[in-house]
Amino acid sequence: MAFLLRAIGFTESIPGFPYTPCSGSSTTTADTPTITWTMRQGECDESKRSVTIFSVNLADMEPRKRELVRHAMKRAKSLLLPGILRCYGAAEHRDTVYLATEPCEPLSKMKCGQMGSPLATSGDDDDEGEAFNDIVALGLKAVGSAVSALHKNKLIHGNVGRDSVFVISTGEWRLFGLELVSGFDDVGSSYLSYCSLLPAYRRPPETQHTNYESGGKTCAIDSWGLACLIYEVLGVNDQTSGKLSQSCSTEDLRSCRTLPRTLQSGFSGLCAVNPKMRHDVDRFLRTSDFIISSDYVQSMQMLDDYSLKDAAERERFMEHLANVVHTFPRDACKHLVLQKLRASFTFGILPGVVDTVVKIAARMPSPEEYATHVSPVIVALFRSKERMVRLRILQHAAELLPQMPPAVVDGEVWSEYASGFESPIAAIREHSARALVPIAPLLTEKRIVNDVPKYIAQLQQDSEGPIRTNATIALCLIADTIPAEYRSKLFAQRFGRMLKDPFAPSRTAALRSFHTTLKHFTAQDIAELVIPGVSPLSMDKVAEVRAVALDVIHAAVSRLDANHREISSSTANEGNVIPPAGVVNNNTNGAGNGVKGSNAALDTQGWGSSGSSSVIQLESTTKGGMENSMPAASKASPFPQKVWGSQSSPSVREDDEESWGEEIQMKPQKLRLHSTATRNGTGAVVPDSLTSDDHPEDKRTLKIRKKGIGASRLS
């Protein structure tokens, strides 16, 4: 680092020059016919403002060039005119001159030509030729304005050309190379003394004559220089531009026919041989179609004069800008247009500016560029108190917000955006609800859990039905951004509340939201919350509501059915259930009284699932042989004994005829049952075994008990 500082003359702090080169920054050489500058990026020691440091060593220079350097330093410090490169400080220390200017790069080091841009070489613009011409037109206007300002102060520049122009960070051109600046009265003594250092084509024909007198049209010198700048930028390509000083002549300059058609006439007027017929710079700026027909140039001029325009002119301009901004160079939009727009916010923000920002933002694919250039403008728009601006920005939230850094949205945008939920303007409240969809993924979990449900609940109580509807839909669309542990409870509350809304679309929205978010509910929640809440709407007076309610019910039942199958499958996969004692060996002849055959064992699982109350009651009411004949159901059955009821049946006496009804002849179902039975002590018939061999065609009568829960009996 010390070696680099010594190489450019920085061996120690310079008195009166509080600027230091940045560590790691590279050096650039700005070669001009008069002075060769070394350029390096630096910063101010106090304010840390970025600067470009020009330096040149005087030790090895010839005396007259030393005078030019000192003259350039004096002019740089004193000339604060529009279009001139701004100089922040200058000093001479130990045979080295230092200048600190606004950050810039030499135009001569950048790619120029019909298919490139001095500001960017990425080629991202849809029409590079038009974009390049717009950049050059704005640059010529800036340089011409600087020359015109010098002329108004009785000064000539004398060195206008490509190597005297620098490009600042916004992409605008600035005129420098002030070593030949002289007064109208000093042209003969100052300019003529050093103009011989310039290439021949850069010197006007009249100054090459020995009998030239400065009393004529002195400003014509800079008109010729502006023609040279146009020729160097547009008339030659990059391969030949570095050899102009050796190969170009005055005739080559004047006979150039490769310029844009709209520039030919103005260029010819600037390079007329007779200085009295030569157009001055002001006339060129006023009449050149190349400049005045450019929407880009005129829009930038309007933004510069924005504070001088009345409200009607500002509104018309913003509407016009939104229609033409897509034709501007992309890098110019990024560095210049957005910066000027943000500066115009000081005088009030108009709704039309939102459309312009939206179109510029669409051309910023890089997240870094978006965060640096677009995000600050969006934050400023959200802070506007103008209701129409707030409405416009909310309408375009889906286009502007997703690319913003989440930290900026959560920290700077949210507080301004959330105020829209309480706006007295219904349209702002409605679009605030809609904008919740693109903004929610950028919020922190704490913000989503604490703030979003609160504002959703507030909107669901709004007096406007569409706002309530949109609030419900917005919550449904951001379901995936809500933490899983909060979803089912929040959805059940917020959607369930809207099922009773008097506004039919709101009820429909709640039903569709339930349908969409059904995957976030457990089977128990569906059975206990969703179906009971949705079912009444199947009888709604609005046909659409009924149809959607039935769709939700069908989907919910399908979920429950799938859950049932899953549980059954998992239970089966756990292994076969161990058979209860007494039914392991089907070949036994029975463990109880009167049990016969190999089919004496009872399939308890089949009966249990069939829901036969008579079988369950037989387990608890029969005595003696029944207990011995069905040990599986009474002792080791895997099914609960009191599945169908928790109270035991009262004891039944055989002679209790009042508790039985009339005998009813029952036709059996399509079951093939055959039983051998015995009558126990109470007279009830007890089956010994069940087979499928015989048809139940006997004439037995089934009596149904009138009161209480008891077993049927066969007579």
List pLDDT tens digits, range 367-414.
Answer: 999 999 999 999 999 999 999 999 999 999 999 999 999 999 999 999
Query: What is the per-residue pLDDT for 189?
Result: 65
CATH superfamily of 446-575: Leucine-rich Repeat Variant (1.25.10.10)
d(CA 617, CA 270): 117
d(CA 498, CA 104): 61
| CATH top class, domain 295-443 | mainly alpha
d(CA 349, CA 296): 21
Largest CA distance in the chain: 154
Tell me 587's DSSP state.
Answer: T
Q: Residue 523: in which H helix or E strand, if any?
A: helix 523-525
Fold (CATH) for 2-292: Transferase(Phosphotransferase); domain 1 (1.10.510)
Which residues have CB under 8 Å from 417's CB, separation 6+? 382, 394, 432, 435, 439
Amino acid at site 144: G
Residue with tokens 């009607």: 312
Query: What is the per-residue pLDDT for 510?
Result: 96
Judge contact between 259 and 99, C-beta under 8 A: no
Phi, then psi, of 496 in degrees rounded to 5: -60, -35
Tell me 140's DSSP state.
Answer: H
Query: What is the per-residue pLDDT for 680?
Result: 46
Q: What are 669's two structure tokens? A: 């179902």
Q: What are 338's two structure tokens? A: 């957005």
Looking at 259-373, list the stretches that DSSP marks H as alpha helix, in order from N- to C-terminal side: 261-270, 281-287, 289-292, 295-304, 311-324, 330-332, 338-344, 352-361, 367-369
Phi, then psi, of 65 in degrees rounded to 5: -75, -30
Query: What is the per-residue pLDDT for 325?
Result: 94
d(CA 189, CA 212): 12
Query: What is the per-residue pLDDT for 197?
Result: 87
Radius of gyration of the chain (CA): 47
Torsion 13-19-24-27 (CA) sign: negative
Name the residue ranges covered by the structural domains of the chain: 2-292, 295-443, 446-575, 604-714
Task: Return the SS3 of 53.
Answer: strand
Query: What is the per-residue pLDDT for 93?
Result: 87
Helices (H) and strands (E) in the chain, counts: 35, 15
Query: What is the per-residue pLDDT for 247?
Result: 66
d(CA 266, CA 279): 8
Judge contact between 53 and 39, C-beta under 8 A: yes
Question: Do the first three CATH levels of 295-443 and 446-575 match, i.e. the same topology?
Answer: yes
Q: In terms of DSSP bridges, do strands 50-57 and 27-31 run parallel, antiparallel, or are they unpaired?
A: unpaired
d(CA 392, CA 350): 10
Low-confidence ranges of the chain (pLDDT < 70): 1-12, 111-128, 187-189, 210-216, 237-247, 574-715
Judge contact between 713 and 703, C-beta under 8 A: yes
Query: What is the per-residue pLDDT for 665?
Result: 45
Judge contact between 95 and 57, C-beta under 8 A: yes
Judge contact between 513 and 491, C-beta under 8 A: yes
Query: What is the per-residue pLDDT for 250?
Result: 83
Query: What is the per-residue pLDDT for 387?
Result: 94
The closest alpha carbon to 326, from 354, 350, 361, 298, belongs to: 361
Query: What is the per-residue pLDDT for 363?
Result: 92
Judge contact between 650 and 659, C-beta under 8 A: no
d(CA 459, CA 557): 31
Query: What is the per-residue pLDDT for 52?
Result: 94
Query: What is the per-residue pLDDT for 222?
Result: 93
d(CA 123, CA 457): 50
Which residues have CB under 8 Å from 603's CB, separation 6+? none
